Amino acid sequence: MNAARIATVLFLLAAGSAFGADKPACDLLTREQVAPVMGAGAIATLYVREELPQRRAKTKELTPVHICSWLIKEAQSAVEVHLVVALPEALVALSTHNKTRRDDEQDFGDVSCWSEGSQKLQFPNAACAGTVKGNALKVLFRSNTAMPTIQQAKSLFDQAAAGL
């Protein structure tokens, strides 16, 4: 019986490590890093894995996108990290995913940043996307109580990029 328990514990530890490796986006920023831009309230973390079609690809394969969100319900704000591991050509898909328009754009070398904000847009946002160490990375900051800036998005992008 003890051998079975030990085998089960070892299996769960290995499975936990494999699951954690499948969601690297949540390891790129910490609550302490996102809290200053998000406002007051309890920060919840959510991991989602989406699949986007590859642009200009002859195959019908989907590109896995790892998304980690830090959310504050009271402040109606969120920071999202979108990561496509080892597939830099996915950057175009990440840059256009869920984007309605660009009010302001700035380029910082290989990193492109933009903001979308107007009186009519429910969650104004600012985002940056770029290729970091062969991975496509996008960081998005949105808020319904504050106007996110490109500088805030770029700072969060740089912190997430440092974690890769």
Nearest Cα residue to 136 out of 93, 91, 106: 91
CA distance 135 to 3: 41
At 119 the pLDDT is: 56
At 17 the pLDDT is: 32
Query: What is the chain's pLDDT, residue by residue, as a tens digit (164 residues)?
Result: 333 333 333 333 333 333 333 447 999 999 999 999 888 888 999 999 988 776 665 667 777 889 999 999 888 899 999 898 766 555 555 555 445 455 678 888 889 999 886 655 678 899 999 988 888 899 999 988 888 999 999 999 999 999 98
User: For the chain, what are the domain ranges?
Assistant: 25-162
Question: Cα–chain-centroid distance for residue 102?
Answer: 19
At 91 the pLDDT is: 56
Percentage helix, strand, coil for the chain under 3-state DSSP, each rounded to 5: 35, 35, 30
Do 82 and 25 form a contact (C-beta atoms < 8 A)? Answer: yes
CA distance 24 to 156: 16
At 21 the pLDDT is: 39
CA torsion 117-109-154-82 (nearest 10°) is: 90
